[in-house]
Amino acid sequence: MSSAHGTTLARPARWVAGVGRVGAGTTLLTAVALLPWLSRTDPALTVLRARSADQDPTPAELAAVRAELGLDAGPFAHLTDWLGGLPRGDAGTSWVSGEPVLPQVTAALGVSVTLMLGALLVTVVVAAAVSARTVHLGARRRLRRERTGTGAAILAALPKFLLASLLALVCGVWLGWFPTGGWDGPASMVLPALALGVPSGAMIGGLLDQALPAAFHEPWAQTWRAVGFPPRHTARHALRRALPGVLPQLLPTVVALVGGAVAVERIFNIPGLGRLALDAAIAQDLPPLQTATLSLVLLGTVAGLLVQALRRALLGRALRDGALPALPRPELATGRARHLIAAGCALALLALVLTGLLRDPLHVDTAARLLPPSTAHPLGTDSLGRDLLARLGHGALRTAAVALAVTAVCALTGLLLGLAPRVSSGLTDVVATMPAVLAGLLVTAAVGPSLWGAALAVCLVGWSPYAAQSAALLEQERAGGHIAAARSLGAGRGHLLRRHLLPALSAPLLRNALLRLPTTVLVLASLGFLGLGEQPPTPEWGRLLSENQPYAELAPWTVLAPACALILLSVLAVTAPRGRRRATGTPTG
């Protein structure tokens, strides 16, 4: 009876999700088609400059480009013609190069998907390494203390483009193990896959490491230990129990690398889809940009369906029958190391800010360019001779405040949309693979470049990891026996939401937000580096990383100082005391 009822409810949910995917994809493609007309520059001028770098074209040349491309017909005519050609396998020709678009996008998509699979393999290996200790101790009933999560926070805070530069320098140039550029054979994939997969794996592993103790403290695990089941058997089933709550993070964390690995693709000179989409968006070359966007939408839809099917296969009939046991977090002891680490990070950041505020962050001294750390400049100077300590100190509050505000908005938006999974599931799949750079270009075209425009762009796409997590955990929580018991006792929706569902979602959502805090800083920095966000010479941490990345080999202190500050902020975020936990997932009141 319950299985048939679950199947009946699943059918309209699939229809609603399908409508959401179509609506979100259509909206995104329409917004992309409007990009040249939303911007404050003449599309013909942008295309002509991309073709010939002519900075001062004549009116006759501009008129010829408009007539050639049919710009006077408007964006919707172009969108209709482009959509009409897709069933025939014709995605149009590039406005800049004049070459057919479909072969370019197909080749770039193949490269990006291959790189994504390599990054996924690295992600799984790193996630397994991060959570291995918890799996080992939990399977043997020796899990007594809560993990600090410091290692996962450090790896998750590593800037991907900085890690890519270091890997290319050490493993490519110094040791000569792997190629440092191009795309020629499996060896070309190793370094970029490591640069993309290590931070992603640390994030996934950190979330899994926090979810495993609840699975190991379930009654079945205690019973199996008592009757003598081998630890590997218990570990395998605990992983199967904890993984469904973490799997949805693969979509926005790993699959989004197809369109969001622009910096790494540029460092290693990889002809991927993200690089193609960014170049087309900057040149306002609509046919390849629209085709790349459609490819990302289809990829996100397929990946979202696969992740959802895998989740439900792991949970089995208990999810469909509403007999899924709750996962209350156990009360583990908090060691002194956690408090000491948090205090050390807080004191280091406080000292950095206070000493930096006493210095001038905008003073340029060309005679002191790229000086190493000394008594006069404790953290060295940048390429313009500006004191790095001063720039870090003055940029600390702005960086942390904007990143915290954006993270809070994204988490709250994701929670609200995750509470309505039938409406938001399709939208989440589409948005999860949309590069933040593309959102930044669309927002900048409408409101102009600014810090808050970049923050709005990140908010438009940054909610998808939290929505995916909230929807997955909500589905599992609703399938719990304690929810059915509460309903049988007359509990209404408000009571269930307030006393059961929200408490079960809030703690995992908070841990996810804290792990993603450094990523928010870096995404804002990448938008500023492209001229879409914070403008120079504002001292912002992410911008310092982007500006000094070309000097990483010549003057490594220029990138190590902001990278270490970002790592300190990340470790402080995950180790700071947050009060006594309340076990969730059990009937209350």
HEC sequence for 442-502: HHHHHHCCCHHHHHHHHHHHHCHHHHHHHHHHHHHHHCEHHHHHHHHCCCCHHHHHHHHHH
pTM, 2 dp: 0.85
Q: How far apart are CA 536 and CA 544, in angstroms?
A: 10
Dihedral sign (CA 349, 350, 355, 358): positive
Alpha carbon distance 292, 311 (integer Å)? 28
Tell me the pLDDT of the chain (589 aa) as tens digits: 444 444 444 444 567 777 777 888 888 888 888 887 777 677 777 777 777 765 677 788 788 888 888 877 778 888 888 888 888 888 888 888 888 999 999 999 999 889 989 999 999 999 999 999 999 988 888 887 777 778 888 888 888 878 888 888 888 888 888 988 888 878 889 999 999 999 999 989 988 998 898 888 888 887 888 888 888 989 998 898 889 888 888 887 877 777 667 778 888 888 888 888 888 888 888 899 899 888 888 888 888 888 888 888 888 777 776 667 766 677 676 667 778 888 898 999 899 889 999 898 888 888 889 889 999 899 999 888 999 999 999 888 888 888 899 999 999 999 999 888 777 777 888 888 787 877 887 887 777 777 788 888 889 888 988 998 888 888 888 877 677 777 777 777 777 777 788 888 888 888 888 888 888 887 887 777 666 766 777 787 877 887 887 888 788 888 888 888 888 888 888 877 655 444 343 333 3
- Cβ atoms within 10 A of the Cβ of 476, count? 22
Burial tier of 423 (Cβ tally within 10 Å: 0-12, 13-18, 19+): middle
List the one residue out of 96, 416, 128 whose CA is nearest residue 282: 96
Q: Tell me, what's the pLDDT at 139? A: 87
User: Sign of the C-alpha dihedral, residues 282, 288, 291, 296?
Assistant: negative
Spatial separation of the C-alpha atoms in residues 426 and 430, rounded to whole Å: 7
Identify whether the C-beta of residue 413 lies closer than 8 Å to the C-beta of residue 466: yes
For residue 98, what pLDDT is reported? 84
Could you give the CA distance from residue 505 to residue 327 in angstroms, rounded to a whole number? 11
Asked if 249 and 257 count as a contact pair (C-beta separation under 8 A), the reply is: no
pLDDT of residue 190: 92
Predicted local confidence at residue 333, as pLDDT? 65
| Buried/exposed 409-421: b ≥16 CB within 10 Å, e otherwise | bbbebbbebbbeb
CA distance 516 to 512: 6
| CA 124/CA 193 separation, integer angstroms | 12
123 within 8 A of 197, measured Cβ to Cβ: yes
Distance CA 522, CA 569 (A): 13
Pick from 424, 471, 478: nearest CA to 245: 471
